[in-house]
Amino acid sequence: MFALMILGDGKLLRPLRADDRYNSSLILAYCEISPFVLRPLIHALKLWASAQDLNDPSGSRGPATMSSYCLTLLAIGYLQQRGHLPNLQSNINIPIPSYPTDTEDPDLIWVAWGKSQGIPTHVAFSKTPPKDWEQKDKALTASEAIRGFFSYFSSTPGPGSRFDREGTIVSVPNGGVVPRADGYMSPLLGTKESRMEREPYMGTGMEGIQPSNWRERLLIVQDPFIWQKVSLLSELGKS
């Protein structure tokens, strides 16, 4: 399922996948909740990553690094973890298990039809926070968020909490930073085939089932719509 992205002058920029449109809409919804913190945080991260040669997902200038989309998810997940942003996907109801033959979920689309099996993309989200959500750090400034982001994801010991790469993942659809599945790093996970059979029961990954290949990576940034996908290239984040 593809659309076309057209610039204001009528020039064709590139094909736009259907899930790209939902990605952009979700990011915009979060930016509208915190325009003076999230927007400058994302901008600062992109400038920093470019200056450090860490914003080259294609690997055109060397080893493949993080995309701007991944940096944006990290920023949203960090502010969710602080309580400054809500979870706009907290009220999603999906059928489990989820198979390519399912047609009951009105908020699910299937992408990558060129493969033998489509990829389920759960595109539902709310544009406004849950009614019972109350924002923490209401006086948080962009500069405080930027300093806090680098402190939180730093591997250097210091004051304040730190992101636990071995025990947690960044998951925007689950509200920020959440635990890895129980037994995640255990070698007693069964055969590859038996693990793949469990993955239709994964949901957002909070039911104790996460893709088996996640255990190979120290940094997991979960895609908000394609839940079994990590928004990092395969070589980045491996132990």
Taking only the tens place, the pLDDT of each residue in 71-90 is 999 999 999 999 999 999 99
pLDDT of residue 7: 36
Q: May I ask the CATH architecture of the domain 14-125+139-222?
A: Orthogonal Bundle (1.10)
pLDDT of residue 239: 41
pLDDT tens per residue across span 180-231: 886 544 444 556 566 667 767 777 887 777 877 787 788 899 999 888 888 7
Determine the residue type at 102: D
Beta strands in 1-131 (DSSP E): 2-6, 12-17, 108-111, 119-122
Q: What is the DSSP letter of 230?
A: B
pTM score of the predicted model: 0.81
First to last CA, the chain: 35
Determine the residue type at 67: S
